[in-house]
Amino acid sequence: MTSYQLAPYLVRVHVRGKPNESRPLDDLQPKAGLDLATELAGLLSAHVGKLYRKPQTKAGVRPQRIQVVSVGQSGRTLNFVASPGRSGIESRTLKRDGSAPLSRAFDDVELIEHRHFLAYAANAHWAILLAERIAGDGVVTDLRELMTKVWTRRHPDLVLTINPAGDEQLWDTVLENRPVKQYIFSRATTSDGKLSVSDKGAKFELHVRPAERGARFGIKPLRARATKEQKPLKEIFLQEVTPVLAGEYETPEEGAAALMEQPWSVAVQLELDSGQSPTVNIEQDSRVTMTWAIIDGVDEPASRPSDEDVIQAVRRLVKADFFAKNGLGQHHADSLQWTPGPWQYSGQKPWEVLWDVDTTGAQADAPGADAS
């Protein structure tokens, strides 16, 4: 089965050339009446319905593709659905009703819808973006590039940033000395089953429970070791957990080196006092990022979570203390709603689209695509 999770990002706008001079999201330009939710809704709505391709900069490189499916806005909240366009896989999809399987050719584009929810408080300088990840993959990395380029063309004096929520001191407080449910090792695979870190079409995951009963996770000792030994946090983490792969490697150092070289993505799933079980992704540098199951306590649900499941998960996370630090909290949670599209931009000037419309047939059946 497939995992459905939410990953938190922090969204900020600052004056170009002055990264410490952030703008209040309710008033991006003094007396101009610009707010972040309305501006991003206009930007995203300009891309609804068609499949867009990043202009090629290198010959022979498979282009990034994105489709924005729908956009909804209500006050300081914004929700949208976007799909990354994946190609380069040959496969067959067997239908449950026994009818003829669907074939996917190498150049066919697969579109998987990912849901996103953005919210911020009055006078806030930060917004929280919760992005859906399906089987560990999301669309924010590609979408961020499209959004920031379009934003810069529209607002050359303002810089839009979208970064993983990775406040080190905050995460360390939340994560320290928590019980470990399982370790997760993952790599992408190609259609013939061979491991490949360059293809996002499929993923191989190994879930391993800790060999030691009652094992606990401590991020602070790992950071201290990484700093002292001048090694990536991920390598130090692997040295700690490779003994759970009994018999595979003679020493923890050997196991860590092998997994770093291949390389594997690594994460640990923890149990918090609230009963929630976030997945903590150990990055190459000193950062950690977290994802949260949309269905609380269920990593791989029997069916795709509904929009109501997503907004319930958003409400749970917004109530958490570490989100309240960025301006949201208990009193905001119950008012958050998933607003259906379509959304119409009311500004006088339409947003400029900078990516190319893809010429594949995938856009013909896209929600909201023009028939012409």
- Identify the pLDDT of residue 369: 43
Higher pLDDT, 244 or 11: 11
Residues 160, 147, single domain; the answer is: yes
Q: What is the pLDDT of residues 75-129, one digit of tens each?
A: 888 999 999 887 777 778 887 777 777 888 877 888 889 999 998 888 888 888 9
Which of 257, 286, 315 is the C-terminal boundary of a domain? 286
Top mean-pLDDT range of 52-56, 183-187, 246-250, 311-315: 311-315
Q: For residue 272, is it within any domain? A: yes
- Identify the pLDDT of residue 193: 44
Residues 116, 15, single domain; the answer is: yes
Domain carrying residue 236: 171-286
- With bands split at pLDDT 50, 70 and 90, how would you rate the model's confidence at 173? low
Reply yes or no: is the peptide bond before residue 243 cis, omega within 30 of 0: no
Residues 127, 87, single domain; the answer is: yes
Which of 254, 286, 318 is the C-terminal boundary of a domain? 286
- Once rounded to an integer, what is the mean pLDDT over residues 9-13? 90
Q: For residue 92, is it within any domain? A: yes
- With bands split at pLDDT 50, 70 and 90, how would you rate the model's confidence at 244? low
- Identify the pLDDT of residue 286: 60
Q: For residue 306, is it within any domain? A: no
Q: Domains in the chain: how many in total?
A: 2
- Once rounded to an integer, what is the mean pLDDT over residues 284-291? 68
Higher pLDDT, 212 or 343: 212
Residues 78, 189, single domain; the answer is: no
| pLDDT higher than 60, residue 201 | no
Q: For residue 314, is it within any domain? A: no
Q: For residue 320, is it within any domain? A: no
Residues 271, 178, single domain; the answer is: yes
- For the entire predicted model, the pTM comes to 0.73
Top mean-pLDDT range of 59-68, 184-193, 230-239, 330-339: 230-239
Residues 142, 273, single domain; the answer is: no
- As given in the structure block, the two tokens for residue 115 are 């849901």
Which of 229, 262, 286 is the C-terminal boundary of a domain? 286
Residues 41, 97, single domain; the answer is: yes
Q: For residue 347, is it within any domain? A: yes
Q: For residue 54, is it within any domain? A: yes
Residues 177, 86, single domain; the answer is: no
Q: What is the pLDDT of residues 210-238, one digit of tens each?
A: 767 778 887 788 888 888 888 888 888 88
- Identify the pLDDT of residue 365: 43
- Identify the pLDDT of residue 315: 84
| pLDDT higher than 90, residue 326 | no
Residues 216, 130, single domain; the answer is: no
Residues 162, 24, single domain; the answer is: yes
